[in-house]
Amino acid sequence: MSTAVDLDWDGWRAGYDEMTFGEMRDFYREVAALYPLQESANVCMAQEAFNLIDFPYKHVVELGGWNGRLAATMLQRNDVMFWENYDIVKVPQACANVSYRLRVLDDYLWNKPPVHADVFVACHTIEHIKARELNALIGNLRTRWVYLEAPLEYGPRDWTGYAGSHILEVGWEGVSAIMLYHGYRPIAENLWERQERRVT
């Protein structure tokens, strides 16, 4: 049975800035092989957040949705029509809904063309990237709503010694500052709305 010492997490953190996308993908393929159980989304919290959205939303883009478990539940709603899960590796999928698509990335989502959707979702994903990348990601969104889950504290945290690929230097205070900078305002726990009514 694998244990968390199978990978050099601090070594990965130390070399993070020099890794190419291909090297990062290879690392996460190894993570997926060693630790296939990566379901972390809180479905109840996501349902509550989606209930607050005041217009029919049809298209959801998720980053790091792993096996599509959250999508499998959310696509049972009448107001979610299409769900795209962008991830760095392909793993067996729990969602067989015809309105679901896994998109395996060939580059980081913040390096791709702007993301157009009604809602952007990232559950237990942003803690695996750095603040500059989170800033670029949120800046690349053309969505009205953003739903985030992450095991963060209010302030910054040093992840040295942590047995996992958490690396985000900022806490919720820093995440909120990034969201506000890009025109989103918090309307509930984990849910932000773009202040502009028209997203271009």
- Tell whether 62 is covered by a domain: yes
d(CA 178, CA 174): 6
- Tell whether 43 is covered by a domain: yes
Q: What confidence score (pLDDT) does residue 197 get? A: 53
DSSP class of 139: H
- Tell whether 167 is covered by a domain: yes
Percent of the chain past pLDDT 90, that is, above it, reads 85
Per the structure, the count of domains in the chain is 1
Q: What confidence score (pLDDT) does residue 36 get? A: 84
Res. 39 pLDDT band, cuts 50 70 90: confident
- Tell whether 200 is covered by a domain: no
Render pLDDT for 45-97 as a digit per residue (tens, 0 to 9).
999 999 998 766 689 999 999 999 999 999 998 888 999 999 999 999 999 99
Mean of per-residue pLDDT scores for the chain: 92
- Tell whether 199 is covered by a domain: no
* Token representation of residue 93: 């999928």
Name which residue leads in pLDDT, 35 or 136: 136
CATH number where 103 lies: 3.40.50.150
Render pLDDT for 63-73 as a digit per residue (tens, 0 to 9).
999 999 999 99
Domain containing 33: what range?
A: 4-194
d(CA 16, CA 130): 9
Q: What confidence score (pLDDT) does residue 4 get? A: 47
pTM, whole model, 2 decimals? 0.93
* Token representation of residue 111: 């390096």
Q: Using alpha carbons, select from 89, 64, 58 the residue that is nearest to residue 166.
A: 64
- Tell whether 72 is covered by a domain: yes
Determine whether 175 is exposed, middle or buried from the number of CB atoms within 10 Å of its CB (0-12, 13-18, 19+): buried
Render pLDDT for 3-16 as a digit per residue (tens, 0 to 9).
445 799 999 999 99
Bridge partners, residue 100, by sequence: 83
Name which residue leads in pLDDT, 4 or 194: 194
pLDDT at 21 over 60: yes
pLDDT at 43 over 90: yes
